[in-house]
Structures are given as C-alpha cells and as structure tokens.
Copies of this chain bind each other. A is one copy, B any other.
C-alpha cells in the first residue's frame, strides 16, 4: 500500500556491541529496539556498565552468552577483535563524558561507531573523536534521532527544493518540565548525571536538548550558524548547569532565529518544535505529533501533509514503514537512523561507495554541536554578547 522500506534487506545482520545501557539506563534500551526494528543488526556483545559486575549481569539479562558479557569496553574491544564472528560496530550509550574514550578506542581498533549525542563534553574532545574517525576510515553515526522522522525528511527536501524560497526565520524550541523541581536530589539517575558538569560537560539543558533543537534546525534548513547570543539560567542556586536557555541566532546568508530550550516548563514533555519561514512559505513541525507537517505557502490555504499521504514525497517514503494514518513514533524515527547507518556499514563491508541519499548525522555534526554549546556558554558568561560559532 505504501511504497516504503521493506524489512527484507537482504544482507546478513550487522553484529554490534554496546557500551553502557545496562540496568537502570534509559537510552540503551531505545537503541536496542531501534536496532531490531528493521532486522539489520544483532546485539552480540556488551560492556553495559562502568561497574563490571553490573555490566556482566546486564549482559546476561539481555541474553548475551557469558563470554561476551564483558566487564569493560576495553575487554570487549579486545575480545571481539579476536573472534571470527566478532562485532563489527560499537554502540555507545554512556553519559557524555564517557563518549570519547570508548569511541576513540573502538575506531582505533577498526570498529564502526554509533554514538549517542551530544558527541562529547568539550570541543577539544569532539575534535579528537573526529580525528580518530578520519584516521580510521570507519563509519561514525551520531544518533541525533529526530533527524530520522519522515516528516523531518520531508521538510528538509521541500526546503532544499526551494519551496519556501530563501529562508528568513528559524524558530526552534525544545521544552520539558522534568527539572521544574530539584529532581536531581530524589534519586533520579538521569537527573543526577545530566545536572552534573563532570559528567555532562558545560551544558545542561543546552547539551541534553538544546543541541537536538539546534541540530534539527540546521538539518532541516541546510543553514549554517554564524553567531549566537545566549541567556542561560537555572532555577535553583544549587543547580550548577543551565535548565533554561534563551538563544538568538544568526545564520550565514542572513536568516535569523530563536532557540528556546527548557527543562522547567510545566506541561511540556518533549516539546521539540520547529518553525521555518521563507520568502514563499512556512513549515511547522512538532515532535510530539510527528506524522504531521504544516506547509503554509504564501497566499494559499494551509496544508497539512501527513506521513505517507498526498504531498509526502520520496524522501519521507524511504523512511516510512506503515500506511498514512497509522502513526509512527519516536522508536521508528530512531530506527531510521539505524537503517541509514546499516546502509553505510554494509557499504563499508564491501568497499562499495555509500549511496548519495544515505543521510545520518556524523561526527562533523557532533563537533558542530559542541561548538554551539561552547559558544552559548561563552556568550552567557560574557554578558549575553554575540559569539561566532
């Protein structure tokens, strides 16, 4: 009925090992589901916690054989390198400060890497990863998962095709409410590390969700940020990282924008929303209702494009699994990043050049995101002044 992607991908499954994502974690399970949806991957190994005992217990719980439930990522890299059926790619789902060490080690050992965002805790660290990618020639995928939503692909394609004319305005926001109270003092593991500069880096909401909004804005519009001016704040004196960010943006070519990221806005769950306006029309999309894309061509009735429905084109179609009116969600969007990664990794298996239309966030996006964070923190520290990115 829908000309979307099939689950008959033909090649053998890509063997992956996971770093982090054990008992009590959240995003690890998301990655595992995303990897399974299209049957492109098989989890064969894990170093699922920084605590060796917990790492091993978590691996057994997930059904890994004892010898591939490793106590550390170093052991995993070594153990898997020595197997004929060893893993081909490493998935990194640790807190931010633990991205760079396993990523660089994995790349150096010749593995592909799929890494959660933000890339690292500093531009310096990010650039070190980028250098390792360059040296290794391996595939590196940064899971800015929102880029995987079909209607985001549709928006990107429409803008690239000039349907909005030159872009003038970009209004991006990502609002949540889970840090409205001092959640980090209540035993919430997520809140603990995300409000801790030692584990998160210099950005709080900025790194956790601000970079998502920023990445999405750039991904959809194809614009590059020139400079920003940031007003960062936190609701409690005891909280050292930002929980609310008000940012002005200027893009190369003249477009301007605003970005609002907040974790203290009651009633907002994952309110990631993007509005883009050009000379000839506008687009509006909200992550919580991701199967819809508003297109407002100037001087014509507003149009609601639905995923897979009339007006939804090939770029959305290739990351679509079910017919229009059957909603796809967060996990499918995430799975689309994995599906694109699979094409690239399979291409690398055979030395085949990857199709031009394989689209996923790379280490370059990760470095860019770290520069965004660094510039915003500096702008704020210097009294809310414009900073080049």
Contacts and interface: CB of A to CB of B under 8 A. Distances in A.
Contacts of A309: 269, 301-302
B233 A256 contact: yes
Interface string A313-354: 000000001111111111110000000000000000000000
A144 to B, nearest CB: 14
A204 to B, nearest CB: 15
A37 B26 contact: no
Contacts of A7: 29, 32-33, 62
A299 interface: yes
A88 interface: no
B190 A327 contact: no
Contacts of A298: 177, 180-181, 266-267
Interface residues of A, number: 94
B266 A280 contact: yes
A12 interface: yes
Contact of A270 (B169, B171, B289, B323): B323
A30 B270 contact: no
B325 A260 contact: no
A73 to B, nearest CB: 20
A304 B306 contact: no
A340 B171 CA distance: 37
A246 B256 contact: yes
Q: Would you call the interface of chain A mostly helix, strand, loop, or mixed?
A: loop
B303 A303 contact: yes
Interface string A271-287: 10001011111101001
Contact of A169 (B37, B244, B306, B383): B244
A227 to B, nearest CB: 10
B329 A327 contact: yes
A176 to B, nearest CB: 7
A294 B302 CA distance: 10
A115 interface: no
Nearest to A297: B266
A168 B264 contact: yes
A301 B300 contact: no
A328 B331 contact: yes
A39 B29 CA distance: 11
Contact of A330 (B178, B265, B322, B384): B322
A356 interface: no
A24 B174 CA distance: 40
A183 to B, nearest CB: 10
A53 interface: no
Interface in A61-119: 61-63
Among A26, A29, A305: residue with most chain B CB under 10 A: A29
A177 B303 CA distance: 16
Given A62-B8, A231-B256, A330 B331 contact: no
A305 B301 contact: yes
7 contacts: A37-B331, A180-B279, A258-B260, A267-B282, A271-B325, A304-B304, A327-B329
The 6 closest A-B pairs by CB, nearest first: A267-B296, A269-B325, A270-B325, A301-B311, A327-B329, A329-B329
Given A7-B62, A262-B277, A267-B298, 7 more contacts: A8-B58, A10-B63, A37-B37, A229-B229, A248-B248, A270-B325, A303-B303
